[in-house]
Amino acid sequence: MSADTIRESLEKLVQIHTDLLAVSEDKTRIVKEGAIENLQKLLVEERKQLRLLEQAENKRQQAVSNWCALNHIQAEDATITNILKHITLEKEQVKLENAATKLTELITKLKQQEQLNQVLISQSMQFVQVSLDLMSPTLKSMNYGVKNETDVSNRSVFDSKA
């Protein structure tokens, strides 16, 4: 059995990661603009892509498992490097290696983009918190007038009128 099913599943993962990267870049733009309504729509699209990613990953795992069973390889040894060693056709090796490399590059880019988004959102939240802190009154300014005197009673402990 050839590794075509593994390559096809990797190519599907590449496509989904490309779409996720585009969504992540849109998310960065929207966070910078502060368009919350658009962010909600984008998060729905991102969840849809993540479900597709999960399905594609399950298919890839199944394809690798089937390939390993047919080629008498332990499942623990089913790395892309070991699979490439067992493929005899050089053309198949190159295609599989290219797909794996492209997927790795996309995952790295997506991770960097999501880290940027996390920093931007964190900064936005800090800005909102500072704005709220500036707008909310402090305990000292709860009264309208300035109170310089202390709440000391002028009454003596000893009652002198008795």
Q: What is the pLDDT of residues 55-82, one digit of tens each?
A: 999 999 999 999 999 988 887 878 898 8
127 — pLDDT class (breaks 50, 70, 90): confident
What is the domain count for the chain?
1
Contact status, residue 99 vs residue 83, Cβ threshold 8 Å: no
Domain contains 91: yes
Domain contains 138: no
Distances (CA, A) of 162 to 15, 65, 154, 158, 159: 96, 100, 17, 9, 6
Query: What is the predicted pLDDT for the residue at 29?
Result: 94
Domain contains 10: yes
Domain contains 12: yes
Range of the domain at 81: 4-123
pTM: 0.77
Kindly report the number of other CB atoms within 10 A of residue 118's CB atom.
Answer: 10
Residue type, 38: N
Highest mean pLDDT among 4-8, 35-39, 138-142: 4-8
Domain contains 89: yes
Domain contains 48: yes
Domain contains 142: no
Q: What is the CATH number of the domain that holds 80?
A: 1.20.58
